[in-house]
């Protein structure tokens, strides 16, 4: 079978295609034929040698996310059938084998069945972006641990960067759960995407006074802010509701105007999807699977997330597209659907 591999860390040009033996599914494992492998910033970071440390050295097959079809079952796996459509999560975390290869073996719990009418493009967008977004939306102490329709009724969420992959997922999941969703973007094109994702209001932070607009749209302030840029913290503290939570999912060093935060008893929360607790992860997987199967989680330009496709032999270009801040979801076509 064909696999993309990086023999050492470095620029995208270290990626190459190799032939490998078909992996065997051991007890409790599932072999998936990968149709689409998706590229996230975490994948390019790992390939470049500045990823989340997981104790695994190259050679590695890149990419955490993907969707495909069950190909073979290891002993003891009886609740899936060959031919079932599935999506996978954290495929290459703590493991040398990600999704940029034709066949991938994973423990049963990392393989999630999806309905026959769920596009592979949706399945390939769920692992990193949607599970991260789910955790950001459920870290409020008195809020729901698992999203479902109505779970966020009466809540307002502010999503920074609503045209990004995680931002798009946060908008879609929050809307599915009943929240009012405000979002910020940097251009008209991104505003159109965030609206297509379902946001109730989109604020162009290059053109508008964000704090004034948020106050106008949500006089009490958002209860949760899903934050992609820590430079927004001052603004977040200005507009957030008393007792609100700011879920920060990017790295970096920053200072906190703690008096401002104290005045409102605000919580700053940090989210890394890989290291959420097993219970948080299970809740996220269950909720995201439910939303996808219900048709409530969509992708493509009409859902605010254009799909950008590359064949497997152009895996390096796919990584470069993500590094160059492609707007949308970069996917690699690995095998025919
Ligand atoms: N902690 C976790 O578990 C986790 C999970 C997934 C992703 N991430 C990280 O989150 C970031 C976004 O991931 P993504 O897949 O959503 O990327 P993406 O699709 O490229 O979207 C990023 C969006 O965020 C906005 N943005 C504003 N300030 C930014 C900043 N300082 N850094 C990055 N983006 C900024 C941009 O929108 P505007 O132009 O409209 O401002 C852009 O559309 C990446 O740094 C990624 O590594 C972390």
Q: Does one domain contain both 104 and 192?
A: no
Max Cα separation, the chain? Answer: 60
Is 217 within a domain?
yes
Q: Does one domain contain both 168 and 86?
A: no
Q: Does one domain contain both 81 and 157?
A: no
274-312: pLDDT as tens digits = 999 999 999 999 999 999 999 999 999 999 999 999 999
Contacts of 127 (CB under 8 A, 6+ apart): 38, 64, 65, 66, 87, 88, 89, 90, 91
Closest-lying ligand 1 atom to the alpha carbon of residue 164: 21
Integer CA distances (angstroms), 204 to 66, 125, 159, 263, in order? 32, 25, 12, 28
Q: Does one domain contain both 40 and 145?
A: no
Tell me the CA–centroid distance for residue 40 and ligand 1, in Å. Answer: 10
Q: Name the band, by pLDDT with cuts 50, 70 and 90, for residue 120.
A: very high
**Residues within a 6 A CB radius of ligand 1:** 40-42, 128-129, 132, 161, 163-167, 185-186, 190, 228-229, 249-250, 271-273, 325
Is 105 within a domain?
yes
Q: Name the band, by pLDDT with cuts 50, 70 and 90, for residue 337.
A: very high
How many Å from the N-terminal Cα to the C-terminal Cα in the chain?
16
Q: Does one domain contain both 70 and 95?
A: yes
pLDDT for residue 171: 99
Q: Does one domain contain both 225 and 322?
A: no
**What is the CATH number for 81?**
3.90.180.10
- Residues 16 and 3: their CA atoms lie apart, in Å, by 8
Is 313 within a domain?
yes
Percent of the chain with pLDDT over 70: 100
From 43, 161, 184, mutation site for ligand 1 pocket: most ligand atoms within 8 A of C-beta: 161
- Residues 279 and 267: their CA atoms lie apart, in Å, by 21
Residue 23: name the closest of 91, 124, 84 by CA: 91
Closest-lying ligand 1 atom to the alpha carbon of residue 271: 1
Write out the residue range of the structural domain in which residue 116 sits. Answer: 2-125+305-333
Q: Name the band, by pLDDT with cuts 50, 70 and 90, for residue 141.
A: confident
209-221: pLDDT as tens digits = 999 999 999 999 9
């Amino acid at each position: 079978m064909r696999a993309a591999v990086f023999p050492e860390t470095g620029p995208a040009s270290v990626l190459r295609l190799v032939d490998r033996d078909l992996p065997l599914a051991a007890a409790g494992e599932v072999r998936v034929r990968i149709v689409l492998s998706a590229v996230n910033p975490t994948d390019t970071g790992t390939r470049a040698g500045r990823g989340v440390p997981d104790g695994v050295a190259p050679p590695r097959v890149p990419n955490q996310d993907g969707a495909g079809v069950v190909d073979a079952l290891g002993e003891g796996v009886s609740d899936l059938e060959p031919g079932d459509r599935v999506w996978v999560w954290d495929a290459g975390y703590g493991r040398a084998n990600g999704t940029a290869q034709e066949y991938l073996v994973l423990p049963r719990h990392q393989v999630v069945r999806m309905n026959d009418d769920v596009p592979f493009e949706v399945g390939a967008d769920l692992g990193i972006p949607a599970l991260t977004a789910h955790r950001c939306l459920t870290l409020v102490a008195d809020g729901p641990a698992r999203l479902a329709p109505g779970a966020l009724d009466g809540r307002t969420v502010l999503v920074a960067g609503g045209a990004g992959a995680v931002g798009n997922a946060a908008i879609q999941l929050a809307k599915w759960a009943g929240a009012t969703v405000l979002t910020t973007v940097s251009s008209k094109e991104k505003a159109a995407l965030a609206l297509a994702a379902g946001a109730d209001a989109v604020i162009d932070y290059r053109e508008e006074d964000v704090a004034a607009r948020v106050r106008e749209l949500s006089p009490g302030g958002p209860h949760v802010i899903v934050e992609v840029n820590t430079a927004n913290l001052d603004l977040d503290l200005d507009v957030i509701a008393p007792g609100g939570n700011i879920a920060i999912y990017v790295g970096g060093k920053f200072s906190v105007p703690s008096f401002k935060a104290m005045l409102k008893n605000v919580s700053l929360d940090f989210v890394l999807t890989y290291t959420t607790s097993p219970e948080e992860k299970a809740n996220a997987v269950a909720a995201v699977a439910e939303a996808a199967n219900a048709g409530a989680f969509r992708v493509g330009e009409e859902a605010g997330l254009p799909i950008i496709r590359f064949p497997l032999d152009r895996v390096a270009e796919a990584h470069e597209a993500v590094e160059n801040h492609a707007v949308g979801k970069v996917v690699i076509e690995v095998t025919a659907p």
